[in-house]
Structure 1
Amino acid sequence: MTRETVPSTRRRASPRHRGSLVGAGVLGVGLFLTGCSGGGSGTAGGPATSASVPSTASPTGSAPASSTASPSSSTSTPTDHPRRCTLAQLDVGATVPSGAGAAGSTALLLTFRDTADVACVLDGFPGVSFVGGGDGTQLGVSARRTGAAQTVTLEPGRTTTALVRVADAGSYPETSCDPTAADGLRVYPPGSTEAAFVRYPTKACRGSTGDSPQLTVASVGTTA
């Protein structure tokens, strides 16, 4: 070891210095060995600069950043947060529940069935009005909303309802009501700009009904 530490081009050391050279050689080897063992432990607890950099170089270092940077990426999937129901995925109809009518009015239940393979959401009130003339001409004013809004998540194949009350046209003064034959109802699902036609022949007030609307509609999720 001492020979490798002292270059061969130097002159031979005197006997009285040889001991110090041997000691220096041992110290040099000790420093080298310490350096090697320090390199092994420095990877985990050595220089701070080398330990903090690998976050951009290793896949494991970059993974947490992508998972915490945008939590909204996991909430955009349809299974977690179903989208609003569109008319294309709904079967819209109406039923007349027995015993639900009152004097001078009739109760209808609008039905909304999810015909798609995924769930969807209906939130609030349908839009409802009478149509006639065989061409979809609106008769009178649209239904007045009543009660509180509700939100319904429709699973595939499931149905929800919304209560509609229809006052008899004969309950209003004929001159102001101007009763007209209605073909049925134009129904907009909540939030939709597309409507379905539901056949319901009756007499509708084409004119004014004053402060008492002929049609009232409750939110989805209501029954008779």
Structure 2
Amino acid sequence: MTRTRIIVAATAALLIAGLSACDEDGSAGASGTVINDAAPETTQARTEPAPTEETGPDQAESGGTGSGEQGSGEATTSPDGSAPDEEPSSQVCKVADLAVTVQYVDSAAGTVHQALRFTNTGNRTCEIQGFPGVSYVGGDDGHQIGKPAGRSGDKGPAITLDPGSQAWAPLAAPRPENYDEATCRPQEARGFRVYPPQEYDSVFVPLPLTACSNTEAVGNFLTVRTLQEGSPS
């Protein structure tokens, strides 16, 4: 029994000494797990700045307008989307650009030939093309008399009107006395209501005359042709 106790005591003493030595140099823990003094190798997370209203991903690639390296490019469009300092393209002539007058040309075979003249009185170049809308109007309320003018011929090419330049459309009106009263149903007109091509606004052109008002008659009491460049000879 004495020998066994001596062996157990010696073994216990050796274990205690080993544990004390490990604790002193810090190379091992009480659990027996080896701890590495160096930090484990890791991959540092790469963060990107969040897109903002000024420098989004798409603007960064194309040279946006934001601050910093991504926004070093200059803006290539103005707020309305057009290129800066770009000359405006030619546009359709509006009522505000035009002065419309009527000019007598001649009379033949019982028909009065007139010219509707469109003069660019604005300060920009514009384009005009096709058939104007024309009808007789009368009374203080400017009500339409009869049918609007019928169209004759083909639609012509676009005409560029520089400020001060003109285009004109031939207008033909058979004389009311060519018809019996029941067919014509004559009324006194104050002039014409004229719509420039591709326009929804009209202009009143004064010209007192007698007009046929029968909307059920066969044929036209007023006929217009497509616009031509310049003025009637």
* TM-score class normalised by the smaller sequence: 0.5 to 0.7
Q: Secondary structure at the match of 1:101?
A: strand
Q: What's 1:142 paired with?
A: 148
C-alpha distance in structure 2 between counterparts of 1:86 and 1:55, whole Å: 38
Q: What's 1:160 paired with?
A: 167
Structure 1: state its 5+ residue gaps.
Answer: 1-53
Q: Give the structure-1-normalised TM-score.
A: 0.63
2:105 is the counterpart of 1:87: no
Cα offset, 1:179, TM superposition: 0.5
- Choose from 101, 117, 137 the match for 2:107: 101
Opposite residue 103 of structure 2, the aligned amino acid is T
Q: What's 2:125 paired with?
A: 119
After the TM superposition, list the runs of 4 or more consecutive aligned residues in structure 1 that deviate by more than 2 angstroms.
54-60, 208-212
Q: Secondary structure at the match of 1:213?
A: coil
Opposite residue 159 of structure 1, the aligned amino acid is Q
- Choose from 206, 209, 216 the match for 2:213: 206
Structure 2: state its 5+ residue gaps.
Answer: 1-60, 64-68
Q: Give the structure-2-normalised TM-score.
A: 0.61
Q: What's 2:58 paired with?
A: none
Q: How many residues align?
A: 163
2:131 is the counterpart of 1:128: no
Cα offset, 1:195, TM superposition: 1.0
Q: Is the 8 A contact 1:134 1:183 kept in 2?
A: no
Alignment of 1:184-199 (within 5 A): 184-199=191-206
Higher relative contact order (CA 8 A, sep 6+): 1
Call closer, same or farther: CA 1:55–1:143 in 2, change over 3 Å.
closer
C-alpha distance in structure 1 between counterparts of 2:62 and 2:216, whole Å: 72
Q: What's 1:217 paired with?
A: 224
C-alpha distance in structure 2 between counterparts of 1:127 and 1:114, whole Å: 18
Alignment of 1:166-185 (within 5 A): 166-185=173-192
C-alpha distance in structure 1 between counterparts of 2:62 and 2:184, whole Å: 76
C-alpha distance in structure 2 between counterparts of 1:194 and 1:168, whole Å: 28
Deviations 1:100-155 (A, max 9, x none): 32111101100111111110111211000001123211100000011111221100
C-alpha distance in structure 1 between counterparts of 2:90 and 2:198, whole Å: 14
Q: Is the 8 A contact 1:140 1:207 kept in 2?
A: yes
Deviations 1:29-58 (A, max 9, x none): xxxxxxxxxxxxxxxxxxxxxxxxx98679
Q: What's 2:116 paired with?
A: 110
Q: Is the 8 A contact 1:177 1:206 kept in 2?
A: yes
Deviations 1:69-101 (A, max 9, x none): xxx966xx5x5631111101111101112xx32
C-alpha distance in structure 2 between counterparts of 1:178 and 1:139, whole Å: 10
Cα offset, 1:202, TM superposition: 1.4
Q: Is the 8 A contact 1:177 1:209 kept in 2?
A: no
